Amino acid sequence: MTMDKKNGLRHTIGVLVENQPGVLSRVAGLFSGRGFNIESLTVAVTNEPGLSRITLVTSGDQHILEQIIKQLNKLINVIKVIDFRDTEFVEREMALIKVRAEQATRAEVLRIVDIFRAKVVDVSPHFFTIEVTGDDGKINAILELLGQIGIVEVARTGKAALARAKKR
């Protein structure tokens, strides 16, 4: 949980849903219809047939978060809502960053890529496309450094999150 200056607590929620048409718009419609924020949302199938996992990042005070979780649970196609507030969890996001890489800056870009354990996934005479995975902090940090060199485009996936396995 992190503080968002404008909207209070930022919060990650996992939602296991039945893989039915329209399920994503039910979830999205719930947020827009009730005035809840969505900062990011990812969705993809899981290992269980017929189930998808949505990971969404929202913000609001505890009262609003309670409502969001209850309202999500109320959707018929939602099987389970994972409230990460009182669980240890890991979250990751991937970003593709197209950065200007001219003669003078190529080495600098590669050094940054190396430090962040990122990867160059596409190279052209004037640009590198970089793939980086990590938490918020890491992605924001590399974006800031590369920004000084010249970012052309960014595509971020939004967060995916899972609870940590229980330690013995």
Structure tokens at 14: 């996992």
List CB contacts of 2: < 8 A, sequence separation 6 or more: 9, 10, 136
Query: Closest distance between another protein and the C-beta of residue 11, in Å?
Result: 18
48 HSE (CA, 13 A, CB side): 8
* Nearer of residues 30 and 143 to another protein, judged by Cβ: 30
Query: Closest distance between another protein and the C-beta of residue 7, in Å?
Result: 19
Structural Rg of the chain based on CA atoms: 18
* Nearer of residues 50 and 147 to another protein, judged by Cβ: 50
Q: In this structure, how many other beta carbons lie within 10 angstroms of the beta carbon of residue 167?
A: 5
Query: Closest distance between another protein and the C-beta of residue 64, in Å?
Result: 10
Query: Closest distance between another protein and the C-beta of residue 2, in Å?
Result: 25
* Nearer of residues 70 and 119 to another protein, judged by Cβ: 70
Binding site for another protein (CB under 8 A): 17-18, 21-22, 25-26, 29, 33, 63, 66-67, 70-71, 73-80
List CB contacts of 35: < 8 A, sequence separation 6 or more: none
* Nearer of residues 72 and 97 to another protein, judged by Cβ: 72
